[in-house]
Amino acid sequence: MNTDTAARVALYIRVSGEEQKIKGLSLESQQERLEAYAREHGWVIVGVFVDAAKTARKNMHKRAEFLRMMELVKQNKVDLLLFCRLDRWFRSVADYYKVMEVLDAHNCGWKTIDDGEGYDTTTASGRLYINLRLSIAQNEADLDGERIAVVFDSKIAHGTVLSGACPFWLRVNDEKRYEVIPEKAAILQDAYNYYESSVSQRDTIRYIRETYGVNWCNATFKRMLVDKLAIGVYDKNGRYNDNFCDPVISTDQFDRVQRLLKNNAKGSRVSGRAYIFSSILVCEECRHKLVGTLGNGIYYYRCNQHFQRGLCSHRKQIREDAVEKLLFVNLGTEIEKYRLAWEVKEEKRRKAAAGVDRAAVRRKLTRLKELYVNELIDLAEYKKDYDRLNSLLVEKSEPSTDRPDFESLEKLLDQDFRQIYDDLSREEKRTLWRSVISEIRVDMSLQITGISFL
């Protein structure tokens, strides 16, 4: 890229939580200097992407703004990425080369403004120098992680909390320790007692809501039932302290509740309460999974975002047998839509394969060999990337090997199959649908709006 022209540049800024306090590394300071640098060179700023409180050790897939910037690159809307220092971008050699593949494919370069020396990616020695800088940065990050782990170990051993997040019945005091909120602890104790007598999470949640006006969902209440902080014990991520905070539930009662939870889970399976469409029925309105419920011997599914939390307008329940009927009515249309969508995607793949820049692939193979020779990647990683790149050099005009088994899907429409289906057990029916379908969307009018196949 010729940087003397009016290039389109994206500014990337990253600071960790501690670095935000340091002048020169703050978000504002980085952005001001990057914008001034771009103006001096007459470049057009097409976006500013800021990942605040994100460490360089964080997986790049967890940096939302970084991913957003890369999407802009993939749309060929960026000529140059501009950031302050190399370690603002990565502290991982492996991540660096994964991103470089994307940048090369879209003719996008990168530049730092604070590193005194320039970086040259066109020569072997220049690439080696970048590898060394990234390796040093990665080692520093690893050492920082080890020091942080030691600090966390010490904090847990001395009863100090690691963050401001608190369970329902606790709060963090001025000494950075958990302290009990008496009125909320009383609610938790009542919930434990009610659950022991009813052995029903749903009934307990309803009781707590009607008695105290506290609206828990199933997942929240389940977490409280298994959280060892209720008995004063910290037991997470390999760190343990049996006197971390004041207990509000006795150890004996906590153990009894754990046994009830375990036995209840086993009992529901033994009793044959297999919900055929659990985990694949989805609310069209809020996209949460519908939850199975049994009433008068009839299986229903409903949206608990409405029934438990009042956060969704989907207030109707759908019968399980109605879902089965709708499935057999809609399957033919949905399978055909699926086939057409796959064929369009396959045609695009063929065209993309025909347009592979073989010279660019060969350059990447040369770069990969240099990484292995310089011992910056191991043999397993070299073979994996070599096979992937080498496969791009092979003509791919033949059909894709991962073609969905449309024939098996179409068998679901056969009349003979429907007769066989009716003779299956509930568990067998559930296994069948889960083997071919990942999602069935149902709207408030109790109609299927879409089916996603595996």
Quick: pLDDT tens for 395-441. 444 455 566 666 666 666 665 667 777 778 887 788 778 777 888 99
What proportion of the chain, given as a percentage, has pLDDT over 70? 75
- Rounded CA-CA distance 138/91 in Å is 4
Q: Are 449 and 438 in contact (CB under 8 A)?
A: no
Q: Which of the four pLDDT bands, split at 50, 70 and 90, describes residue 147?
A: low
Say how far apart CA 142 and CA 270 lie, in whole Å: 48
pLDDT given for residue 185 in this prediction: 93
Return the pLDDT at 268: 43
Query: What value does the mean pLDDT of the chain take?
Result: 79
Domains: count for the chain = 4
| Sign of CA pseudo-dihedral 385, 390, 396, 401 | negative
Identify the band that residue 267 occupies on the pLDDT scale cut at 50, 70 and 90: very low
- Helical H segments across 213-356, by residue range: 218-226, 251-270, 304-307, 320-354
Asked whether residue 161 is domain-assigned, the answer is: no
Check pLDDT > 50 for residue 358.
yes
Smallest CA-to-CA distance from 237 within 155, 356, 114 is with: 155
- The amino acid that residue 378 corresponds to is D
**163 domain-assigned:** no
Query: Strands across the sheet with 298-302, in order?
Result: 291-295, 298-302, 318-319
pLDDT of residue 254: 94
104 and 185 together in one domain:
no
323-340: pLDDT as tens digits: 988 888 877 787 777 777
Same domain for 93 and 26, yes or no, is yes
Mean pLDDT, residues 132-150 taken together: 63
Q: Whole-angstrom Cα distance, residue 208 to residue 198?
A: 13
Q: What is the CATH number of the domain that holds 105?
A: 3.40.50.1390
Comparing 392 with 230, the larger pLDDT belongs to 230
User: Do residues 31 and 62 both lie within one domain?
Assistant: yes
Please indicate, yes or no, whether residues 339 and 435 belong to a single structural domain of this protein: yes
Q: Decide which of 205, 238, 270 is a domain's last residue.
A: 270
CB neighbours (10 Å) of residue 372? Answer: 16
DSSP, res 215: -
The average pLDDT across 75-83 equals 91
- Residue 138 corresponds to which tokens in the numbers above? 């990665």
Q: What is the mean pLDDT of residues 115-139?
A: 63
Least confident of 142-146, 259-263, 447-451: 142-146
> Would you place residue 77 in the very low, low, confident or very high pLDDT band (cuts 50, 70, 90)?
very high
Same domain, 304 and 324: yes
Give the confidence band of 341 by pLDDT, cuts at 50, 70, 90.
confident
* pLDDT at residue 127, as a whole number: 65
Residue 109, beta-bridge partner list: 80
Per residue in 166-180, pLDDT tens? Answer: 899 999 888 888 999
Question: Would you list the DSSP string of 139-152?
Answer: HHHHHHHHHHHHHH
The confidence score (pLDDT) of residue 397 equals 42
Report if residue 154 sits inside a domain: no
Which has more pLDDT, 106 or 163?
Answer: 106
Instruction: Report the range of poorest mean pLDDT among 92-106, 353-367, 426-440.
Output: 353-367
Asked if 342 and 290 sit in the same domain, the reply is yes
CA angle 112, 117, 120 (to 5 degrees): 75
CATH number, position 241: 3.90.1750.20
pLDDT in tens, 231-255: 999 998 788 899 999 999 999 999 9
The Cα–Cα gap between 285 and 36 comes to 46
Structural domain that includes position 438: 275-356+401-454
Domain termination residue (choose one: 270, 303, 320): 270
Same domain, 131 and 178: no
Do 226 and 318 sit in the same domain of this protein? no
Closest CA to 167 of 211, 210, 231, 257: 231
Return the half-sphere exposure (C-beta side, CA atoms, 13 A cut-off) of residue 322.
13
Distance CA 443, CA 312 (A): 11
Instruction: Please write the tens of the pLDDT for every residue from 16-52.
Output: 655 444 444 578 888 898 999 999 989 999 999 988 7
268-324 pLDDT tens trace: 443 446 788 888 899 999 999 998 888 888 999 999 888 888 889 999 999 999 998
157 part of a folded domain: no
Give the pLDDT of residue 9: 94
94 versus 30: the higher-pLDDT residue is: 30
**One domain, residues 417 and 373:** no
Q: Please check whether residues 216 and 336 belong to one and the same domain.
A: no
HEC per residue, 258-290: HHHHHHHHHHHHHCCCCCCCCCCEEECCCCCEC
152 domain-assigned: no
In a domain, 162, yes or no: no
Q: What is the pLDDT of residue 245?
A: 92
Gap between the Cα atoms of 148 and 142, Å rounded: 10
In this structure, the answer to whether residues 235 and 192 fall within a common structural domain is yes
CA angle 29, 35, 39 (to 5 degrees): 145
Confidence (pLDDT) at 335: 78
The candidate with the shortest Cα–Cα distance to 192, out of 263, 266, 248, is: 248
User: Could you tell me if residue 57 is left (phi over 0), alpha (psi between -120 and 50 degrees) or otherwise beta?
Assistant: alpha
Residue 156 lies in a domain: no
For residue 219 the two structure tokens come to 């997942």
Mean pLDDT along residues 370-393: 77
Tell me, yes or no, whether 77 lies in a domain: yes
pLDDT at 72: 93
The residue among 121, 141, 161 that closes a domain is 141
pLDDT at 394: 58
Residues 255 and 329 in one domain: no
- Using the structure block, give the residue that is written with the tokens 């299927």: 448
In the structure encoding, which two tokens stand for residue 137, read together? 């940065």
Percent of the chain at pLDDT > 90 equals 25
Per the model's pLDDT, the better-predicted residue between 290 and 152 turns out to be 290
Reported in sequence order, the residue ranges of 85-233 that DSSP labels E, i.e. its strands, are 109-112, 170-172, 178-180
Alpha-carbon gap, residue 19 to 30, rounded angstroms: 12
Question: β-pairing, 44-52 with 8-15?
Answer: parallel
